[in-house]
Structure 1
């Protein structure tokens, strides 16, 4: 049997070459973790494929008809043919995921299961539900070991890693397997069977996968004090008494590893939550349950949004502790882990309320959520490491929905403001100690925002279509103006012909340009007809001018009539013009001396022709272009469709809007508000000038909580280095 232990040759010709440079920047110990994990996963995949044939064959025996039997036989054949390809793609993605850790950024990374191309909505839903169930089983069964591995990888990388971005976490492993098998030509029923096999033969050994990785990292000194635990704790254990010492107390191994890592950073900010009285006896910590009662009392007295500036949770809690201590005759304090939660949440909200991307009018509302968030984090300290935690997601969804909110004088009539206010009120009034309320509120809020988003997307698409049509018309008008000016400027023409070309034939040219484009044969034919018309009403000295005119006129008249019929020109005016044109042509065949007395009024075209439009007016002059290296131009180039920006309209007024379209025809940037209505249009140069003078800035649409957590961790690390 071939040697399965060496996984490097499997990727020698592909993966290693593609990611050679990033891999060299990873610590050697991380490469060892990767290779050991890949070895185990290879054995699991081999077991999966070895047993898939037997499982599918058994199902053919139980099939109700020949069509169902054929389905399973085809699936067996497809799986055999694509087995090697699936294995190769699966491990390539694992190698690439480890390589990406060297440049990992939690604020920009994402890990979402990619939908299979062409999958029906019902099939995608079934697959998503199945995958979520598989992931949750691993988290419930082996979550503690996975948290420890994630914490150790975070420490090794010097960056806060989360489970969804851990290359060995169930989220990414399921995604890699789905992506590797996306070309399997089987229906959803068979795909679910194969997913179940992946759970049975690969994910079922996740405890061994994480245990081996943890032991390897622990042996190399990465968070060696984290001891393996048999199960993931669902509720944080009551905190232990505070020790009056200068060194951090021994870590509580029952707490989530990421929170334990944060506690090491929080050591230097402890000690502020103590009763204001002389210490007569050793301080006794209150239980987490008693702390929740104190917080619930404060929750009922949270000041209104307008008075939030004067509210300090830690100060309020300190006063309550003093009253409790005086009443009991004992010095009561908050336990270490719970104090760390309070300090961490307080710093998170300081960062959130200082975030320029959150509208000022909504900051006071969001600030009222501080106590409910403290309570849910006291109940479940995995809140800080689980990006899918309902309370954390609710904060992020509120911030995301509010990103494009500009506010106004009538906020009490704004649907988004009212919905956020309802969420805050419900939490303040109803949240006691059951975190399920966050899941309910999250579901309601997501339903509201999705409904708003559907309406906004519809209006935005209409806006985009209208603007693209308007831009095409504007560009076509410019082509028509250019053609008219090239043909007419400097010419002496009968007034009736000049009027006809400007008022009637310009419309023919415009419609032709819009329908066929300025490079089409139809456009060139329409321009040529105009040129021939102008030539036909002028006297020429050439000897063959009359014979050329005789040859030209029949085709010219035919082209003119066909063009006018397509533009719905007034039939009476058309008849009148052709009568005038016939007279002009007749005069050209008479001697110049005989026709002088009947010569038409000639007009010399001296001014540039600019066509007017009822809805747009004359085209605006283009600003002087800026060099590509200009700082404003570079900022414009960084804009992407769908990003939000804030324009400073005057000293007191800002406008938040989203880039909905960059028009190909004109290069203009179209911005819409939260409802999808157009609010601004800028040329590339004008936008660059506004960036350069600071009148516009790009809003950060990454997750608010993650930004705040990253900022707090950075501040704590700087504080630790300064001690």
Structure 2
């Protein structure tokens, strides 16, 4: 095998030719959206299974190589590992293309019937000798995987096959031809593996791992695909456990579980015939009951129905004009009109129509009665759809699969018109409305041209889908701009709210100068907002912005220490520098900025003056203490001087003394008294200066009410643009409240009807749920925003009847379910 490692293999050489890609895309575009969505969902569910296979093949082959008994076998496993690694990406792509090809084959008349190995002629007993041993082992391995998977996933596979079958017209889909059936999946992988240049032993290991990781996981694939189809209204009532054989059962158990390979028309006929038949006397003309008169040939009947359509044209025109005024159209009695026409043409000869034609006429009448009663469509659109009743009767008479196949082009056309018209309302001159004009032209064409060939419905459907695609692209652009604007608004609101919360956590309960309050609310909040919007609340700049707020708040609070004075003097210059830099960055008005800084200067100077007053009080206390010391010294000195004078007089009392000597000694003592007097005088003057002049000089006036120094206690700051508490925000609803359940079930694209106070109604569609704010954004059919709610306010609006939900399921399928339910009820009532 190592000799061929340089060989280049074209992995997709056996797949669809490049020239067929366009045909495939065109085929897919003609199929219902549910068909394409199912294909994409199934491939998406298969992708991780295939990933797990390739992630584990290396380990498996390496383990086998490690246990190999000789070098040749070991090299073989290592070469196989290398081969799979090189071609893995190509194999994954080719596997997906194989599945796409099998879906494409469902849309063509030459879709092959899938075969198991038991059906393969090469496995006939007399032919086994012609098959190489390796090929035989591959076939046996594949057949084993298919049989095992079909037995394990019988129920979910059968449901998926039935639902896909309803989308494909007129071909029949079986478990073997189902593109996601075990047969298709397994054979696709085996076909891709033919490009691998590896020993059969390694290839069988690969198949075993494919069985373990992919085939065993098909249940999840079927569940995902069935969910897509159910969400699109494809047989939502299909009974679990209904097998392919059970689909042939003629007893209807689920509405409309009968769709699929079962003949729904036959079952509807059974229900219809089970009702009491009102028989009257034989009429002498007109249309009579089946079998009571000669039968009109089908071709003649088609011509007569065309004549009835022309005769009803004036009535249909009147209904349309009335519908534009809001009056719903009435059901057309086609059978009576046909009887009147026959009476006019054959006044003395009664006629009848065949049982199939009669049943088709009655069932279509019931379908259209439901459609015209449906509140999801506007009256003008109902009036246009009502014009299709006779063409639909013709289609049902000619092809009974009209009731059976969900992919019938007439049914799909009706569903597309109803889906596109769900949010449509008549505004202004309706003839200028693109959708109304398009539907009107389609209806007119079908009325004029339909002659029994369903290809007309297909052509009209293709044209209408192309129109819708263009319309959706235009609406999508407008809607995307709306969503982007709301998303930006939500982020802005979230940022404003975060800023307001951060500021209020810091200022609540503080007494602040008005200039500081104004600075935080109107200026610095914008600085923080810009930082949050660009960098979030985990950024370093965000924290630095909050630090500026903390420093500013501290700088205007009361202080009572020399340390506070020192910190304030040190802090103020860089603080003001940071504030100025932040305001400059957001382009703050320079004149208002200068006024802010002037007012802040006054505030900070007043803080420093308050600190000086505290220091002055301390100094006066010190002087007072010194004054007491001086007074005590004066008292001691006075006592000493007085004692000295007494001793001087006593010492000279008993002897002669010179008057000159005595006079000199007395002068010394009196000089001491004079010095003591000066000390006392100086102490008194200093005290006087402290008590009056100094305190008067440093006194601070109380601020005026409109002064920047004026203070007020702050409860909370209000930042422009921050989210407000929604009305009714203090009301809570339990999680199981029906209105909340409805809200939680809404998905993007869901239509609702808003009821205004003036009793007018308009319709809008859920365009997005903004994650940042939790708001539900609704747009009209043009993509423009018309309403927004929170989860709670939307639930409350539903409770009050201000909002109603619309059913956006497939119109024809809902009508068919209603007909089946009505027939059952009528049968039960009369039983």
TM-score by length of 2: 0.59
CA RMSD of aligned residues (A): 4.5
Q: d(CA) in 1 for partners of 2:274 and 2:760?
A: 41
Q: Does 1:260 align with 2:266?
A: yes
For 1:589 and 1:216, locate their aligned partners in 2 and report how far apart those are by CA, in whole Å. 93
CA distance in 2, matches of 1:568, 1:274: 94
**Cα deviation code 1:256-293 (max 9, x no counterpart):** 83322222122146778998427999511111111101
In 2, distance between residues paired with 1:178 and 1:552? 78
Deviation readout 1:148-194 (Å, 9 max, x if unpaired): xxxxx9xx99xx9772489835773457677779999979x99xxxx
Find out whether 1:686 has 2:658 as its counterpart.
no
Shift of 1:648: 1.6
Deviations 1:279-318 (A, max 9, x none): 9995111111111011111122333254352731111012
Instruction: Tell me if 1:503 matches 2:522.
Output: yes
Q: Deviations over 1:326-372 (max 9, x none)?
A: 3xx54310111111110111111111111122223311111111001
Unmatched runs of 5 consecutive residues or more in structure 2: 16-33, 48-89, 115-154, 197-241, 252-260, 320-328, 614-694
Question: Does the CA contact (< 8 Å) of 1:358 and 1:402 recur in 2?
Answer: yes
Q: In the superposition, relative to structure 1, how do residues 432 and 223 fare at CA in structure 2: closer, same or farther (>3 Å)? A: closer
Does the residue aligned with 1:674 lie in a helix, a strand or coil?
coil
Q: 1:619 to 1:642 in 2, by over 3 A?
A: same
Contact 2:513–2:710 (CA under 8 A) maintained in structure 1: yes
2:302 is matched with which residue? Answer: 292
Distance 1:380 1:344 in 2: 14
Cα offset, 1:322, TM superposition? 2.9
**1:458 CA displacement:** 1.7
* CA deviation map 1:360-403 (0-9, x unaligned): 33111111110011111122121111111111110000000011
Tell me the CA shift for residue 580 of structure 1.
Answer: 4.5
Count, aligned residues? 557
**1:366 correspondence with 2:402:** no
| Equivalence for 1:199 | none
Counterpart in the other structure of 2:284: 277
- Find the partner of 2:178 among 161, 172, 178: 172
Q: Which residue of 1 aligns with 2:39?
A: 113
User: Structure 1's 498 and 690: CA in aligned 2 closer, same or farther, altered over 3 A?
Assistant: closer
Q: For residues 112 and 411 of structure 2, what CA distance do their matches in structure 1 show?
A: 19
Q: Which residue of 2 aligns with 1:627?
A: 733
Q: Are the counterparts in 1 of residues 548 and 575 from structure 2 also a CA contact under 8 Å?
A: yes
1:136 to 1:610, Cα distance in 2 relative to 1, 3 A: same
Q: Could you tell me which of 691, 703, 707 is aligned with 2:814? A: 707
Q: How does 1:78-93 map to 2 (within 5 A)?
A: none
Query: In structure 2, what is the Cα distance between the partners aligned to 1:612 and 1:667?
Result: 20
2:531–2:541: 8 Å Cα contact kept in structure 1? Answer: yes
Output the CA distance in 2 between the equivalents of 1:274 and 1:440. 46
Indicate how the Cα distance of structure 1 residues 550 and 274 shifts in structure 2: closer, same or farther if over 3 A, else same: farther
Residue among 448, 459, 462 paired with 2:467: 448
What is residue 395 of structure 2 aligned with on the other side? Answer: 376
Partner of 1:661: 768
Q: Tell me the alpha carbon deviations over residues 590-639 of structure 1, each in whole angstroms, 9 at most, x when there is no partner.
A: 414626149653231456432335xx997755622322233322222222
Deviation of 1:680 after TM superposition, in Å, equals: 0.4
* TM-aligned CA deviation for residue 697 of structure 1: 1.9
In 1, distance between residues paired with 2:185 and 2:574?
Answer: 63
**In structure 1, which of residues 709, 718, 722 is the aligned counterpart of residue 825 of structure 2?**
718
Query: Alignment partner of 2:336: what SS?
Result: helix
Q: 2:335 is matched with which residue?
A: 314
**Aligned: 1:71 with 2:26:** no
Please give the alpha-carbon distance, in whole angstroms, between the structure 1 residues aligned to 2:762 and 2:243: 54
Aligned to 1:248: none
- Deviation of 1:511 after TM superposition, in Å, equals 1.4
CA distance in 2, matches of 1:386, 1:345: 15
| Compared CA separation, residues 612 and 435, structure 1 to 2 (3 A) | same
Moved more, 455-464 or 108-117: 108-117
Asked if 1:673 corresponds to 2:679, the answer is no
- Secondary structure in structure 1 of the residue aligned to 2:786: strand
1: CA distance between counterparts of 2:384 and 2:244? Answer: 47
The alignment partner of 1:493 has SS state of strand
Name the SS of the counterpart of 2:352 in structure 1.
strand
Greater radius of gyration (CA): 2
CA contact (8 A) 1:345 1:370 kept: yes
Q: Is the 8 A contact 2:415 2:812 kept in 1?
A: yes
Cα distance in 1 between the residues matched to 2:479 and 2:795: 24
Within a 5 Å distance, the mapping from 1:61-460 to structure 2 comes to: 69-72=8-11, 112-114=38-40, 116=43, 131-137=103-109, 163-164=165-166, 168=174, 172-174=178-180, 217=245, 222-223=249-250, 257-268=263-274, 276-277=283-284, 283-302=293-312, 303-307=315-319, 308-309=329-330, 311-326=332-347, 330-460=349-479
Structure 1 pair 578/414, CA: closer, same or farther in 2 (3 Å)?
same
Residue of structure 2 aligned with 1:525, choices 544, 562, 565? 544
Check 1:555–1:330 CA distance in 2 against 1; reply closer, same or farther (3 A cut): same
Give the direction of change, closer, same or farther, for the CA distance of 1:72–1:632 in structure 2 (3 Å limit). closer
Query: Are the equivalent residues in 1 in contact too, given 2:728–2:793 (CA < 8 A)?
Result: no
Q: Deviations over 1:191-224 (max 9, x none)?
A: xxxxxxxxxxxxxxxxxxxxxxx99959x99459
Secondary structure at the aligned position of 1:679 is classed as strand
Deviations, residues 474-532 of structure 1 (Å, cap 9, x unaligned): 22222222333343444443333332222210111221222233454433332221121
Q: Is the contact between residue 485 and residue 609 of structure 1 (CA under 8 Å) also seen in structure 2? A: yes
Kindly indicate whether the alpha-carbon contact (under 8 Å) linking 1:513 and 1:523 is maintained by their aligned counterparts in 2.
yes
Per mean C-alpha deviation after superposition, the further-off stretch among 132-141 and 342-351 is 132-141
CA 1:619–1:216: 2 relative to 1, 3 Å: closer
Q: Output the CA distance in 2 between the equivalents of 1:181 and 1:523.
A: 60
Is 2:295–2:354's contact at 8 Å kept on the other side of the alignment? yes
Deviation at 1:553, TM superposition (A): 3.1
CA contact (8 A) 1:463 1:677 kept: yes
**Paired position in structure 1 for 2:480:** 461
Secondary structure of residue in 1 paired with 2:778: strand
Aligned mates of 1:215, 1:501 — CA distance in 2: 72
- Relative to structure 2, which stretch is displaced further, 447-456 or 170-179? 170-179
Give the gaps of 5 or more residues in structure 1.
1-60, 77-107, 143-152, 191-213, 225-254
Distance, in Å, in 2 between the alignment partners of 1:215 and 1:671 is 42
Verify the 8 A CA contact 1:274 1:333 in the aligned structure 2.
no
**Match among 700, 709, 715 for residue 596 of structure 1:** 700
The CA distance in 2 between the partners of 1:389 and 1:316, in whole Å, is 27
CA distance, structure 2, for counterparts of residue 391 and residue 296 of structure 1: 18
Task: Tell me, yes or no, if the aligned pair for 1:495 and 1:602 is still in contact at 8 Å.
Answer: yes
Whole-angstrom distance in 2 between the partners of 1:421 and 1:162: 31
Match in the other structure for 1:698: 805
Tell me, yes or no, if the aligned pair for 1:273 and 1:334 is still in contact at 8 Å. no
Cα distance 1:522–1:677, how it changes in 2: closer, same or farther (>3 A)?
same
CA distance in 1, matches of 2:377, 2:563: 78
Counterpart contact for 2:331–2:369, Cα < 8 Å: no
Deviation, 1:542, is: 4.1
